[in-house]
């Protein structure tokens, strides 16, 4: 008993620091945001804020822009989650091949986008897909390859603007998926693949019947995190399209930001954030119940 109390006393300072940071930077902002959502909040003079009741939440369900932002956020998840997962596992399988040399070099190359700043990467893609002949992609398609006659207004059309946002998200996230699957693939006994090869199984069959089932817990973890990341996306849209053209590429987070820091409607922005938090919780809980029950072991 005395030994246990001594151990608790030794770790208690770290627990207290962690609890204090959680209270200061997680629980308090969360509670404050929920409180503000029930007011027409005046950020300059909070004491003059008027009670709004449930009107901010009613506005959330009647605002047509919320529908557009929700659609774009869901499309972001539908497109980028499979894109990042497929790209990441393909890269991991390629690097894992016996014939591939300089494995550390290729891991580094593919992981560089992950550790790069979102702002830097987003502005890079904004430059690449700039309108007119100034954009690198337009210059390549029009002046080098002569595949099209006129430059494409990538950021002036809803479809192509969303495409650019999806591409940068997939490009930046694939390396993270790759590293996780590389660790998982290295933990699978080679004897299983050797036995499958002796039985005449082709590589595709071995992948479907050995690799995928054994990395299923990791797949659940990856998908849950990718979906949550897609729903919470912000920087790529804010830096590349600013929600344009005509607010058609707004996401829930970018529309929330616009309401708070352009229109200074912090009450309504807080109501959107509360609804977004409920949506993320529901998605996470549903995914964990359906595909996240297995433990991840390496």
Residue 242 predicted with pLDDT over 80: yes
Residue 69 predicted with pLDDT over 70: yes
Q: Helix, strand or coil for residue 44?
A: coil
Q: Going by C-beta distance under 8 Å and a sequence separation of 6 or more, which residues neighbour residue 232?
A: 253, 276, 280
**Cβ neighbours, 10 Å, residue 69:** 25
Residue 169 predicted with pLDDT over 90: yes
Look up the pTM and report it: 0.88
With beta carbons less than 8 A apart as the criterion, state whether 110 and 175 touch.
Answer: yes
Q: Going by C-beta distance under 8 Å and a sequence separation of 6 or more, which residues neighbour residue 233?
A: 73, 76, 165, 169, 251, 253
- Spell out a b/e string for 157-182, using b for 16 or more CB atoms within 10 Å of the CB, else e: ebeebbebbbbbbbbbbbbbbbbbbb
Q: What is the pLDDT of residue 285?
A: 84
Top pLDDT among 268 and 220 is at: 268
Distance CA 48, CA 52 (A): 12
Distance CA 168, CA 102 (A): 26
Q: What is the pLDDT of residue 294?
A: 55
Q: Which helix (H) or strand (E) holds 39?
A: strand 39-40
Task: Please provide the distance, in angstroms rounded to a whole number, between the alpha carbons at the two ends of the chain.
Answer: 34
Average pLDDT of the chain to the nearest whole number: 89
13-17, 45-49, 199-203, range with the lowest pLDDT: 199-203
Q: Which helix (H) or strand (E) holds 101?
A: none
Residue 151 predicted with pLDDT over 70: yes
Q: What is the pLDDT of residue 292?
A: 55
Q: Which of 253, 224, 248 is nearest to 236 (CA)?
A: 253
Domain 64-291: state its class.
mainly alpha
Residue extents of the structural domains in the chain = 1-36, 64-291
What does the pLDDT look like over 184-238, one tens digit per residue? Answer: 988 888 888 888 888 888 888 888 888 888 888 899 899 999 999 999 999 999 9
Q: What is the pLDDT of residue 34?
A: 94
Mean predicted confidence (pLDDT) in 289-295 = 62
With beta carbons less than 8 A apart as the criterion, state whether 254 and 243 touch.
Answer: yes
Q: What is the pLDDT of residue 104?
A: 84
Q: Which of 93, 283, 289 is nearest to 184 (CA)?
A: 93
Give me the percent of the chain exceeding a pLDDT of 70. Answer: 97
What does the pLDDT look like over 272-288, one tens digit per residue? Answer: 999 999 999 998 888 77
């Amino acid at each position: 008993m005395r030994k246990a109390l001594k151990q608790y006393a030794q770790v208690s300072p770290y627990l207290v620091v962690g609890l204090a940071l959680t209270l200061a930077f997680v629980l308090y902002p969360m509670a404050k945001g929920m409180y503000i959502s029930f007011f027409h909040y005046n950020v300059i003079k909070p004491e003059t804020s008027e009670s709004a009741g449930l009107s901010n939440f009613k506005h959330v369900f009647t605002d047509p822009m919320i529908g557009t932002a929700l659609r774009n956020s869901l499309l972001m998840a539908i497109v980028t989650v499979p894109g990042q997962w497929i790209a990441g596992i393909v890269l991991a399988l390629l690097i894992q091949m016996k014939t591939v040399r300089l494995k550390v070099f290729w891991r580094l190359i593919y992981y560089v986008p992950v550790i790069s700043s979102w702002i830097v990467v987003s502005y890079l893609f904004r430059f690449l897909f700039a309108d007119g002949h100034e954009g690198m992609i337009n210059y390549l398609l029009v002046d080098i390859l002569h595949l099209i006659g006129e430059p494409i207004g990538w950021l002036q059309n809803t479809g192509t603007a969303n495409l650019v946002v999806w591409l940068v998200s997939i490009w930046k996230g694939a390396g993270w998926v790759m590293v996780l699957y590389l660790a998982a693939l290295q933990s699978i006994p080679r004897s299983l693949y050797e036995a499958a090869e002796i039985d005449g199984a082709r590589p595709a069959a071995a992948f479907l019947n050995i690799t995928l089932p054994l990395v299923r817990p990791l797949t659940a973890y990856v998908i849950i995190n990718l979906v949550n990341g897609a729903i919470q996306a912000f920087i790529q849209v804010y830096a590349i399209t600013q929600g344009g053209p005509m607010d058609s590429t707004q996401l829930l987070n970018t529309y929330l930001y616009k309401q708070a820091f352009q229109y200074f409607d912090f009450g309504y922005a807080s109501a959107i954030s509360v609804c977004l938090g409920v949506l993320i919780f529901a998605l996470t809980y549903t995914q964990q119940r359906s595909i996240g029950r297995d433990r991840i072991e390496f």
